[in-house]
Amino acid sequence: MLLGDGMERQILHVDVNNAFLSWTALDMLKNGESLDIRTIPAVIGGDEKLRHGIVLAKSMSAKSAGIVTGEPLYQARKKCPTLRVFSSNFKVYREYSNQLYELLCEYTDKIERFSIDECFMDMTEFLRGRKLIDIAYEIGRRVREELGFTVNVGVAHNKLLAKMASDFSKPDKVHTLFREEIPEKMWKLPVGDLFMLGKKTVPKLQLLGIKTIGDLARYDYRWICYRFGKFGKMIWEYANGIDTSEVVSEKEAPKGIGNSVTLPRDYESLEELNSVLLALSEQVSFRLRKQKMFAETVNVQLRTSDFRDFSHQKKLNHATCSTSEIYQVAKGILEEMYRQQKIRLIGLRVDHLTDKPIQQVSLFDEKTVNEKQEKLDKAVDALKQKFGYESVMRASGMETSRMMKRKDE
């Protein structure tokens, strides 16, 4: 979809693979269980004794045995006598869902939780010179390495196509579905695979000779609307890849805002690391100001070349959204924690957010300096909003931004 300025939306859909089973497995392993239930025929289901147990999630080996989500557990056991059934725990699922959400918040402020195990992300204003496909692969890798489970990521220019793409082959995959790819990748699918198309509608469409999504896309628009009303209009548009819906962000305030970057090579000097830290400070403070929030804590994370993680944080004397203040504090933290290691990743995060700035009392001219810095930040933000994030950058951060962009080309 084209925005008012002619720019196409940049949308990701992140969908957890076998969410309930994966999260149950991780929780069991964390609590001392030696068996990873993802490696055996296993399902998450309801209470069989109450005779309403159905399959909520399944392992890959259970899927290979022909078990499908939603079928009764007694039927699943007939297909696989060695099947093991585990109860659901939505408290655990919410914890892992929140961990995923917090990770995704490092990339954009426009995130819509579509369900407990899937999110839409609008990256249009947050690419910062990077390619959408590279961010998708990075998210998949980070979820796998940092959270312990896997996701599929759909890449497209609207929510519908991103959702359809994430449902392609699984697990742990990234798929694109751009407008020019619709005939090859989507139209060949059975019409029942179209998003929002209910099972009761499929037979009605088949009676009209509509068996694939392509058949529906090429069918007479007026007749489909006459036969199915507003729903017919929607499914015909979906079959043609048309979707103008917005990513609806969470209304709740974020708990923290952060970003990190895997470096193109191992960095071994404070000068290089400080340059990246400045770029991260600009990104994080820009997002703070967009949210009209102020941070009371700054945290710096380092990952060494041998994958050891270190992080230090500092509580501020007053809440701030100033790029300069956040950078100076982060720079001091980095100098304290850095021990000449080879660094492959650096991250910056601000926490304990508030919507009320708490200014530090000073007998000198610090208030004047803060007011000047606030005006500068607002002016820079306005230019970024109008002409793009990279239109205005501090000189010492320009090469870092170019480096981060080259890394993704």
**Mean per-residue pLDDT, 217-225:** 96
The third-level CATH classification (topology) of the domain covering 256-407 is Dna Ligase; domain 1 (3.30.1490)
**Is the per-residue pLDDT at 367 higher than 60?**
no
Annotated domain spans of the chain: 187-239, 256-407
Give CA–CA dist 283/128, Å, rounded.
9
Higher per-residue confidence, 233 vs 7: 233
Give CA–CA dist 75/261, Å, rounded.
48
269-318 confidence digits (pLDDT tens)? 999 999 999 989 988 998 888 888 899 999 999 988 887 888 899 999 88
In which residue are the tokens 């408290």 written?
91
Percent residues over pLDDT 90 in the chain? 61
**Is the per-residue pLDDT at 210 higher than 80?**
yes
Closest by alpha carbon to 320, among 277, 254, 373, 365? 373
How many CB atoms are located within 10 Å of the residue 357 CB? 15
Average pLDDT, the chain: 85
184-205 confidence digits (pLDDT tens)? 999 999 999 999 898 889 999 9
Pick the CATH number of 187-239 from 3.40.50.280, 3.40.250.10, 1.10.357.10, 1.10.150.20: 1.10.150.20
Helices (H) and strands (E) in the chain, counts: 14, 12
Contacts of 32 (CB under 8 A, 6+ apart): none
369-396 confidence digits (pLDDT tens)? 455 555 555 555 555 454 454 544 554 4
Residue 337, amino acid:
M
> For position 369, what pLDDT does the model report?
45
Give CA–CA dist 220/127, Å, rounded.
39
**Is the per-residue pLDDT at 398 higher than 60?**
no
Give CA–CA dist 314/344, Å, rounded.
23
Active site residues: 118
pTM of the model: 0.70
